Amino acid sequence: MNDLPLQTESRLISCILPKGQGMPLQKALAEEKEIFSANLHHGRGVGKGFHLNERSVGDQQEREILEVVVPFPIADEIFDFIYYKAKINEPHGGIVYVSKIARSSSFELPDIDWEKE
């Protein structure tokens, strides 16, 4: 078995977005930045504007969480792209943050001859 190449200078960019914003952002990352490995999933939460004594289960809203690992040299560029493309700079636009990760590995699926026929 071949060992996957280990990346030690990568960043994890995470976004918490309003429902419906994740898929268009994932598509834009693929089409405009050639980043095809973004992970999109869902969660529930409330904004910081709610007071603790006023919160109830019904106040929770669905959110989308998009995560992408990028090489350190382009992390700022991709962060800025996400920030403006997802309209995080607008009220209630969401949040985006960057984390340093110790290691990551990149891989590609092998070409299979029967797929080419």
Q: Tens digits of per-residue pLDDT, 54-85? A: 655 556 788 999 999 999 999 999 999 999 99
Residue 108 has a pLDDT of 67
Secondary structure (3-state) at 27: helix
What H or E segment, with its residue span, contains residue 8?
none
DSSP state of 85: H
74 vs 83: CA distance, rounded Å: 14
Cα 15–Cα 93–Cα 46 angle in degrees, nearest 5: 80
Better-scored residue on pLDDT, 76 or 117 = 76
Q: For the chain, how many residues are written?
A: 117
Task: Look up residue 54 and give its DSSP letter.
Answer: G
Per residue in 4-55, pLDDT (tens digit) is 677 778 999 999 999 999 999 999 999 999 998 889 999 887 666 655 566 5
pLDDT surpassing 80 at residue 88: yes
What does pTM read for this prediction? 0.77
